[in-house]
Structure 1
Amino acid sequence: MVRGKQVLGRMLVAACAMAITGGITGCSLLTPPLSDAQDATARQAIDDSLLVRSGTLTVALDTRNAPQVMTGTEGDLQGYAVDLACALASRLGLDVSFVSATSPESPLADGEADLYIGASSDDDAASITIMDGYLENATAVFGAAGDAALTASALADATFAVQGGSATEEVVYSVASPSNVRTCNNVNECFDALAAGEVDYVACDATAGAYLARAQSEVSFCGTLSNVDSYGIAFMSRATELANEVMSAFAQMENDGTIDALRQAWYGDLPADLEGQLIEGVDPAAAADQGLTFASDADDAAAADDASADDAAATDGTQADADASSTSGSISTGTL
Structure 2
Amino acid sequence: MKIAARSLAALTVALAAALGGCALPAAADPASLAGALRGSVTTSVEQARAERAASLVPAQEIPTLKTAGRLTVGVRADAGCPAAFTGADGELEGYYVDFASALAEEMGLRVTFVSVSGVDAALSDSVDAVLGVRSGESAVATIVAPFEDEGVGLFGKGASDVPDAAALAGATVGAQDSSSSLRALGATDLAVRTRTYANVNAAFDALDAGEVDYVLCDVNSGGYLSTFYDDVSLAGTIAAPSRQGVALLSSDQALESAVDEAYARLESNGRLACIRARWFGTGERLGEGSVVRAAQ
* TM-score for the superposition, normalised by structure 2: 0.79
**Aligned equivalent of 2:161:** 148
The one of 81, 87, 110 aligned to 1:95: 110
- Structure 1, residues 128-158: CA drift from partner, whole Å, max 9, x if none? 1111311212100001114534121232311
1:270 CA drift (Å)? 5.9
1:14 CA drift (Å)? 10
8 Å CA contact 1:52–1:114 kept in 2: the answer is yes
Identity %: 31
**Aligned equivalent of 2:28:** 11
SS of the counterpart of 1:132?
A: strand
| Aligned 1:1-336 pairs, distance under 5 A | 10-12=27-29, 19=36, 32-37=47-52, 41-47=55-61, 49-65=63-79, 66-109=81-124, 111-125=125-139, 127-146=140-159, 148-173=161-186, 174-175=188-189, 180-269=193-282, 271-281=284-294
1:9 CA drift (Å)? 8.5
SS of the counterpart of 1:11?
A: coil
- Structure 1, residues 290-313: CA drift from partner, whole Å, max 9, x if none? xxxxxxxxxxxxxxxxxxxxxxxx
SS of the counterpart of 1:59?
A: strand
CA separation in 1, counterparts of 2:160 and 2:52?
45
- Segments of 5+ residues of structure 2 without an aligned counterpart are 1-24
CA separation in 2, counterparts of 1:211 and 1:122?
27
SS of the counterpart of 1:121?
A: coil
CA separation in 2, counterparts of 1:263 and 1:195?
23
- Segments of 5+ residues of structure 1 without an aligned counterpart are 1-7, 283-336
Query: Match of 1:11, as an amino acid?
Result: A
Are residues 115 and 60 of structure 1, via their aligned partners in 2, closer, same or farther at CA, if it must alter by over 3 Å? same
CA separation in 2, counterparts of 1:167 and 1:31?
38
Query: Match of 1:52, as an amino acid?
Result: K
1:175 CA drift (Å)? 4.7
SS of the counterpart of 2:27?
A: helix
Query: Match of 1:57, as an amino acid?
Result: L
Count of residue correspondences: 265
8 Å CA contact 1:128–1:234 kept in 2: the answer is yes
SS of the counterpart of 2:183?
A: helix
8 Å CA contact 2:73–2:130 kept in 1: the answer is yes
8 Å CA contact 1:12–1:258 kept in 2: the answer is no
1:100 CA drift (Å)? 1.7
**Aligned equivalent of 1:319:** none
1:49 CA drift (Å)? 3.1
SS of the counterpart of 1:50?
A: coil
CA separation in 2, counterparts of 1:194 and 1:262?
26
1:23 CA drift (Å)? 11
CA separation in 1, counterparts of 2:84 and 2:245?
14
Are residues 35 and 223 of structure 1, via their aligned partners in 2, closer, same or farther at CA, if it must alter by over 3 Å? closer
1:108 CA drift (Å)? 0.4
Query: Match of 2:216, as an amino acid?
Result: A
CA separation in 2, counterparts of 1:62 and 1:267?
20
8 Å CA contact 2:166–2:294 kept in 1: the answer is yes
1:161 CA drift (Å)? 0.8
Query: Match of 2:101, as an amino acid?
Result: C
- Structure 1, residues 152-187: CA drift from partner, whole Å, max 9, x if none? 123231111101111101123445568x31111211
8 Å CA contact 1:46–1:242 kept in 2: the answer is no
8 Å CA contact 1:157–1:176 kept in 2: the answer is no
CA separation in 2, counterparts of 1:98 and 1:136?
21
8 Å CA contact 1:52–1:113 kept in 2: the answer is yes
